[in-house]
Amino acid sequence: MTKQEGYRKKRLDRGIKARSDTLFAVASWKEILYLMIPRFLPVAVLLLLPLFLGNYWNKVLVYACIYGLLALSWDFLASCGLFSLGQSLFFGVGAYIAGGLNYYFHLPPLITIPIATIAGGILCSALLTPVMRLRGVYFAMVTLILPLLLMKIIETTGVFGGTQGLSSLSGFPHEMLSIYIAVVGFLACLFLFRRIINTDYGLILRAIRDDDRSVMSGGINIYWRKSQALFIAGAAGGFAGALMTHHYQFLGMSVFALDYSILPVAAVALGGQGTFAGAAIGSMLLVPLSEALRALGGLRVAIYCGVLIVSIILLPEGFFHYLARKYHQFEKVVKIG
C-alpha cells in the first residue's frame, strides 16, 4: 500500500474483540470460538503433529520444542529484567545432571529428568546469585561467558568424559513417548509461564523489570525474587537439557555451545518479547527453517542469518505482536484533519 498524502492509518479494535473482552464472551459461540481458536488450535496441531510427521521431522519437532523451552525460559527472565545470553548454561547443567546420574548410577530417564529439572534450577540460581546484582548488558555478558567457562573446565579437567562425552545413555522405551514428553512439556511450560506472569507474583517480577527501586521501597527483597525467577527459568532449561540428553542418548560438552544461547534469543526476537507465545512461535518457525535449509549445504547458516536479519528489521516488534494486532484490530485510512 502506498502512502497517500493527507491521509493516515487508523487502528480500531474489532467488534468481536470488544464484546469478548467482557462477560458477554459466554453469550455466543462466536465469541467463545474467537477466544478459543488462537489458544486451542496450536495446541491441537502440536499434539496431533507427531502422528503425521516422519521419523526425521519428528526429531525436528523435538528440537523445536527444546529450543522453545529455552526461549520461554529466556522470556521469563527478561520479564523480570534479567537479560540473559546464556540459556546454554541452564541447558547444559540439566543435561549433565541427567546424563551423569544415568551414566554413573544407572537411573532411568523418568527419575533423572525430574531431578535434573529441580536440581538444575537450584544449581543455576546458585551459580548466578553472585552476579544477580548486575543489570543489562553486564548480566548478559556474564551469562554468555559462564557456559563457555564450564565447557572449557570440562575440556581441561576431563570430568564427565571430557571432550569425548558420555555415550550409550538409556533412552526412552518408545520413540513416541519422548516426542510427547517434549511436546507436552513445552506446552505445559508455555501455559504455566503465561499464568505465573499474570498472577500477583508475576506482577512483582514485572515490576522489578520496570522499576526495581520502587519495588525495593515497597519492602520487597528483589534479589530473593530474582533468584526465584532464576530457579524457574533454570528448571525449564534443565528440563530441556535432560530431555535432549536422553533423547539422543548422548552427552558431550557441546551442550554448552553458543547455539543454545543465541538461538532462543533469536527465536524471541523473531516471535516477539514479553508474551511467551511469541517465544513459542519464534522457535516453531526458526528450528524447522534451519532444518529445511540443510538441503542448501554450505550456505545454510548464512541464509538462515539473512532471513533472521530481514525479518527482525521488517518486524522489529515480533511476529506474535503483529499477528495479535491483525487478529484483534482492523485498519482503515482516514483523512488527516
Name which of residues 129 to 158 contact another protein (CB under 8 A): 130-131, 133-138, 141-142, 144-146, 148-149, 152-153, 155-156
Strand 166-167 versus strand 250-251 pairing type:
antiparallel
71, 269, 279, 281: which one contacts another protein (CB under 8 A)? 269
How many angstroms separate the CA atoms of 36 and 306, rounded?
Answer: 35
Query: In this chain, which of 16, 50, 83, 330 binds another protein, going by CB under 8 A?
Result: 83
Looking at the Cβ atoms of 50 and 162, the one nearer to another protein is 162
Q: How far is the CB of 59 from another protein (least distance, A)?
A: 7
- With 0-12 / 13-18 / 19 or more C-beta atoms within 10 angstroms meaning exposed / middle / buried, residue 181 is buried
Interacting positions 170-209 with another protein (CB under 8 A) = none
| Contact letters for another protein, residues 207-236 (x by CB under 8 A) | -----xx-----------------------
Question: Total binding residues for another protein by CB under 8 A?
Answer: 80
Tell me the one-letter amino acid at 205: L
Q: For residue 177, what are the contacts with CB-CB under 8 A and spacing of at least 6? A: none
Nearer to another protein among residue 35 and residue 315 (C-beta): 315
Q: Within the chain, where are the H helices?
A: 15-20, 29-52, 55-79, 87-105, 109-128, 136-157, 175-198, 200-210, 212-217, 222-248, 259-271, 277-292, 300-314, 319-328
Grid coordinates representing 1?
500500500
Shortest approach of another protein to residue 60 CB, angstroms? 8
Query: CB-wise, 131 or 176, nearer to another protein?
Result: 131
Of residues 6-45, those binding another protein (CB under 8 A): none
Residue from the set 6, 15, 54, 337 that interacts with another protein by CB under 8 A: 54
Q: Which of residues 203 and 309 has its CB atom nearest to another protein in the complex?
A: 309
Question: Segment contacting another protein (CB under 8 A): 30-38, 180-188, 232-240, 244-252?
Answer: 244-252
- Region 273-332 residues binding another protein, contact defined as CB under 8 A: 273, 289, 291-303, 305-316, 322
Q: How far apart are CA 56 and CA 194, in angstroms?
A: 31
CB 83 within 8 A of CB 74: no
Q: Please count the other Cβ atoms lying within 10 Å of the Cβ belonging to residue 201.
A: 12
Q: Closest CB to another protein among 25 and 148?
A: 148
